[in-house]
Each structure stands twice: as structure tokens, then as C-alpha cells.
Chains A and B, each alone.
Chain A
Amino acid sequence: MSEVEALLLREARLLDEQRYAEWLELFADDAVYWIPTRANQASPHEALSIIYEPRSLLAVRVERLARGEMHVQSPPSRTVHHVSGIEVAGEEARSSLIVAEWRAGDARWFAARVTHKLRREASGLRIVLKRVDLVDGEAPHRAIAVPL
């Protein structure tokens, strides 16, 4: 298994195990986490995004998850992040993502194409951009509390 594949699978496991602080550590200081609304959306200035967060705001998101007092995670979700079809080209990885979520009596699924842009730093390989293109980014969504 390549180093990039191992990183993507580790990322999925950290999310499924709700180890959000460790998940955040995978992101570089200047990283961005992005879920656009539109397929082929070129920039966050072109259209609204479901999430467009530089690491400094992602840290607030993770802080909130870690504190465990958020209504939309009481009770918490259980998830399976299923990553497959990983293709690596240089410092970019593309993959398919299916997330199954179970919470408070309801099950639902997300499906997305994911792009990771990576960078080698002293501490190892880190994520500079994680872009999650949902198949239904422009559709109505109920509250999304767990990172995809």
C-alpha cells in the first residue's frame, strides 16, 4: 500500500472513531476543507459552499465536536467512511467516498468524488486541500455535523 493510500484510509478511520483532533492534525497549517455546492465549481467565490473552511475555522469545528455539547451530535453519529478507487498523481489523490451515517434513529448516505492535495512536510505527508464533490451538492440536505 502506498503512503498516500495509507493516509486516506487513516483519515477515514480517524473520522469513524471520532478522533477529530488527530484528524485535524493531518491538515497543513494553510489547508482548506471544501464541500462545494456545484460540480466543477472553480472557486468559493463563484458560488455558495456547504463548507469552505481554512484550517483556522476547521479548528473551531473540531473544537465543537470534541466538546460533545452540540445538540446535533447528542446522541453522536456513527459513521463508516468507505474510501475506494484511490488514484495518485504526484501530490494529488483522487478517490471515491461513500459515508454511511446512523444517528438518532435515522440512517443516511453520502456519495462523493474526493480530491486531496498533499504536501510533504517535516512531520510527514499532510493535506493541503480536501475537496468533497457530493453527487448531490446542490440538493437539500439535513444537518451535516460529521466531516465527510
Chain B
Amino acid sequence: MIESLVRGDAVHRAAYVDPAVFALEQERIFRRAWLYVAHESEVPHPGDYVLARLGPDEVILVRREDGGLSLLHNRCAHRGARIVSAPSGNTRQLRCPYHAWTYRLDGSLIGVPLAEGYADPKSLSGLAAVPRVESYRGFVFASHSAQGEPLPQFLGGLKSAFDNLLDRTPAGSVTRFGGSLLLEYRGNWKMFMENAVDLVHPGFVHKSSVEAARAHPEALRSETVTQQGAQMFLANGLRATQWDEVPLHAFPGGHVYMGGFYRQGVIAPEREDPVFERYREALVARHGAEKANAVLAVDRFNNLVWPNVSINARFGAMRVVRPLAADHTVVEVVCFRLDGAPAEMHELTLQFVNLAASPASLVASDDLEIFERCQRGLASGTNEWIDMRRGALGDQHQADGSIVSRGTSELPIRHQFETWKRWLAQ
């Protein structure tokens, strides 16, 4: 029984290593839950399409002539060939390269060659459409399941992360830009989501980048992008008592965010430099001073949408975790331009993400190494149970159903596994 893998204080190692558990996750989470697909700014015009993943399947997000979105399986209804192979483009219709079955942008079949050879050509199928597709303020999510709660309810308390990202834009919208970074590791997908809000690991895992940056204080006096990088490395050098001051907040539905921990320089919420002043002025023009200040004061770092998305609104970055096997994961990192903000801000966004999140990052590379070590370790069966009790005594249940804790708590791991157990049990 899957429920027996999660106790309040520990989780069985099978949750990370067992291919049968992975297959169950694929069926009961990744074929049911709302999953992030793409951003509407990637398909602004009729005929625009992008290839995307929805759980285990490849799908095509298409902007139709009527302005609506279709999400279609990238698989011809005839012999099953992939219809689209370019990652993005614009087209008037979708045509299979094999026998030229041709479809409208909503997936319906226009025609097939030699239709007269079919007794009832009208009975032939179009492209399979994903049953539920919804956009939350431009962020397109979809579910393989026709049933379930609507997207806003699913996002629950974590809607606030998208809202804050959009509030931070002078023009009221964001645009995806800069392509992607793709990281791969030989470990379970859940490790990434757990580690993103584990505030005890930086002091150990990221020690080498903290100390290397400390040995080069001249970087802090260099140009802005270099300063930003050095400050980002150094920020991981907080003491345990300081990490403990960073709040963790868990919402019903499995979502979690951690507070910010950047206090100085270009990366601090209260930046003072000419570029940021121009940005602040543009934001005040949209919101008025009081709301603009409140928007900028929202200081959160990673916001996790259960099961597999991490958003950092302050830095315009998002990570999508794609499970490939129990011991194999790819993480896609993408960026958003704050429409109406100075171009220099977008350059800082790209450079922040390069330095913090690329596979060659002095920070992320050590995280990837640790995930692979955990996976190797967990594959050996000397100890079946993984403890997750750290900080449990400090969990504070709120009236709205959310739970808050101090930064060094393992609350996020306990909370994610409670949610995981619920989805897998049904």
C-alpha cells in the first residue's frame, strides 16, 4: 500500500528509487494534476505554436484564429507519427509528414488522401486534445484529467507568487525571453523540489562557492552583473541562526514558499541604483507609491507550485521539474521580462539565472552532485526509512489551513509528502 510509504516522521526510500512507485506517480499525479505547459507570450499570434511537455506526453500549444488556445497531443491520429518537430513556429494547419493527414489548429481533421477508400471518412479522428487547459494570468496550465478542481483553486495560496510577479511589471504583463537552460541529474524529481526550500543545506553544500567569493572581494567593486553574482554566492554564507529567521509557508495543496534572504547590494529588495530608480518610477506610475512599495516589499525566494514548478518572482525566473524515471530528472529554467521595465533589468535577470541556475553554476552544480549522491545512497537498502522530523516541533498551523515554520524546519518535505500520499492513494 502506497500510504504505508509515508509516516509523519519518515518516508520510505521506495518513494525515490522504486520504478513501480514512479509509474504510479506518473499515473496519479502527472496524468491528473494541473501542470505548467508554457506562457501565453510564447504564442502571441494566430497560428503560433510551441512544443511542450505535459507529464509524460509531448503536446503542441497552438494559438487558434479565434484567439483561443488548443493543446493537442503531438501524435497523428493515423499511424502515430509526431506531427510537429520544430520547437516553435507558425502554421495555418497541422499536417502529418507520413501520409499527409491534415488538421485545423483546433485539432479537427480537414482531410486525408484517398478518402474515397474509406467507407465512412467522416468517422476518422482528429488530433487528441488535452481535456483541460486554463491560463492563470498568462501562465498556461493543463491537466490530462477531465475532472478535478479549477486551476485557481488548485494554485490556492501560491497564486500570490504569480500575482506578485505581474504586480512587479510596469506594463501589467510578462514576456518569456532568453530561451532555456536544461539541467539533468541521475536522481529523483522530488529531490529538486525538497532542496529548493531546504535552508540548512546551503551552509554545507554551497560552502565552496561562498568561500571562493569571500577570497575575491574585488568582484563586489566590479560592474553590476559581477557584483550581483558575487553577492549571490556570498548570500549562501548565512549562519544557521540567520537561516532560521527566513520564514517557510506551506499551503493546502502541497505548495510552499520560502522568504527572501538577500540583504545587501544589487540583489537586496531595497536596491538603490539608477536603473532600479527608473524601474521604481515606472512602477509607481502604474500602481501609485503606496502599492508600488508594498509590491516591492514582498520578499520571497523560491515559490513552489506542487508538484513540479518553482517560481522566483523577484528575479523573473521559473524552473519546471520533469521526471523522466525514478532516478532521472531534467529541470528547465526559463526567464520572464517584466514588460515596461528598463532593459538593464532583463540583462540582470539573465545573468542572475546563468550564475545561479545553469548546470555549470558554482551553486547549482553542487546541488546536482548531492542529488546524485542521495540517489546512489538510497539505492542501497541498509536503512529503509528517511527521517524528516527536523523542526517539526515549531510547525504553526494557521486558521486558513496553511502552516508556517522557521527556516531550518523540514516542514516543506513533510508537507509535500502528505500531499503526495493523498494524490497517490486515490
A residues contacting B by CB (< 8 A) are: 35, 37-38, 44-54, 56-57, 59-61, 63-64, 67, 69-72, 138-145
Contact = CB atoms under 8 A, between A and B. Distances in A.
Given A35-B360, A48-B358, A57-B355, A64 B230 contact: no
Contacts, number: 133
Contacts of B213: 60
Given A48-B333, A50-B354, A71-B369, A142 B186 contact: yes
Given A50-B354, A54-B223, A63-B215, A72 B229 contact: no
A63 B362 CA distance: 11
Interface centre among A45, A67, A145 (most CB of B within 10 A): A45
Contact of B184 (A53, A54, A142): A142
B359 A52 contact: no
B129 interface: no
Interface residues of B, number: 49
A129 to B, nearest CB: 16
Interface stretch (B266-274, B282-290, B344-352): B344-352
Contacts of B183: 140-143
A47 B178 contact: yes
Contact of A48 (B223, B233, B353): B353
Contact of B368 (A44, A47, A64, A143): A143
A64 B233 CA distance: 11
Contacts of B229: 53, 57, 60
A138 to B, nearest CB: 7
26 contacts: A37-B181, A47-B350, A48-B333, A54-B222, A54-B225, A54-B226, A56-B218, A56-B219, A56-B222, A56-B226, A57-B230, A60-B213, A60-B215, A60-B233, A60-B362, A64-B208, A67-B212, A70-B366, A71-B373, A139-B182, A141-B182, A141-B359, A142-B184, A143-B359, A144-B359, A144-B365
Contacts of A49: 350, 354, 358
B211 interface: yes
A113 to B, nearest CB: 18
A61 B359 contact: no
A46 B212 contact: no
Interface centre among A51, A52, A60, A139 (most CB of B within 10 A): A60
A49 B361 CA distance: 10
A57 B350 CA distance: 15
Contacts of B16: none
A24 B183 CA distance: 26
Interface centre among B219, B350, B362 (most CB of A within 10 A): B362
Contacts of A138: 179-180, 182
A144 B355 CA distance: 13
Given A52-B351, A140-B184, A145 B222 contact: no
A9 B341 CA distance: 45
B205 A47 contact: no
A59 B179 contact: no
Given A48-B354, A144-B359, 19 more contacts: A44-B354, A48-B180, A48-B358, A49-B354, A49-B358, A60-B212, A60-B213, A61-B362, A63-B212, A67-B208, A70-B208, A70-B209, A72-B365, A72-B369, A142-B184, A142-B359, A143-B359, A144-B365, A145-B365
Given A37-B181, A44-B350, A140 B230 contact: no
Interface string B200-244: 000001011101110110110011011001100100000000000
B368 A45 contact: no
Contacts of B180: 37, 48, 138
A143 B179 contact: no
B330 interface: yes
B185 interface: yes
Contacts of B223: 54
Interface string B43-60: 000000000000000000
Contacts of A60: 209, 212-213, 215-216, 219, 229-230, 233, 362
Nearest to B368: A143
A57 B232 CA distance: 12
B248 interface: no
B39 to A, nearest CB: 15
A35 B351 CA distance: 13
B242 to A, nearest CB: 22
B370 interface: yes
A97 B200 CA distance: 39
A46 B350 CA distance: 9
B347 A48 contact: no
Given A69-B207, A71-B208, A45 B350 contact: yes
B359 A50 contact: yes
Contact of A50 (B222, B346, B350, B358): B358
B142 interface: no
